[in-house]
Amino acid sequence: FSHGSPQPQGKTRVQGVRRIIAVGSGKGGVGKSTTSVNLALSLAAEGLKVGMLDADLYGPSIPKLLGIEGRTALRDDGIFQPHGAFGLKVMSIGSMLVPGQAVVWRGPMATSGLRQLLRETDWGDLDVLVIDLPPGTGDIHIGLFQQTIVDGVVIVSTPQDLALIDAQKAIDMLRRMSVPVLGLIENMSYFIAPDTGNRYDIFGTGGAERAAARLDIPFLGAIPLVMSIREHSDAGAPPVALLPDGPEALAYRNVARTL
Ligand code: ADP
CATH code for position 248: 3.40.50.300
Residue 4 has pLDDT above 80, yes or no: no
The answer to the question of residue 211 being in a domain is: yes
136 assigned ligand-binding residue: no
The span from the CA of 258 to the CA of 167, in Å, is 20
Gap from CA of 207 to ligand 1 centroid (Å):
18
In this structure, is residue 6 part of a structural domain?
no
Task: Please indicate whether residue 65, judged by its CB atom, sits closer than 6 Å to ligand 1.
Answer: no
Q: 27: annotated binding-site residue?
A: yes
Domain count, the chain: 1
What ipTM score was computed for the predicted complex, to two decimals? 0.99
Range of the domain at 133: 18-257
42 lines ligand 1 (CB under 6 A): no
User: Among residues of the chain, what percentage have pLDDT more than 90?
Assistant: 78
4 falls within a domain = no
| Inside any domain, residue 188 | yes
Let me know if residue 189 belongs to a domain.
yes
Does the residue 12 lie in any domain?
A: no
Q: Poorest-confidence range of 35-49, 106-120, 242-256?
A: 242-256
String of DSSP letters for 145-158: HHHB---EEEEEE-
- Residue 222: CB within 6 Å of ligand 1? no
First-to-final CA distance of the chain: 36
Residue 245: predicted pLDDT: 76
User: Is residue 100 in a domain?
Assistant: yes
User: Is residue 236 marked as binding?
Assistant: no
CA distances from 194 to 81, 199, 221, 225 (A): 42, 10, 21, 11
Residue 2 lies in a domain: no
**Model's pTM, two decimal places?**
0.94
Q: Is it the case that residue 2 has pLDDT exceeding 50?
A: no
Give the mean pLDDT of 140-155.
97
Most confident segment among 21-25, 205-209, 220-224: 21-25
Handedness of CA 213, 188, 222, 257 (dihedral sign): positive
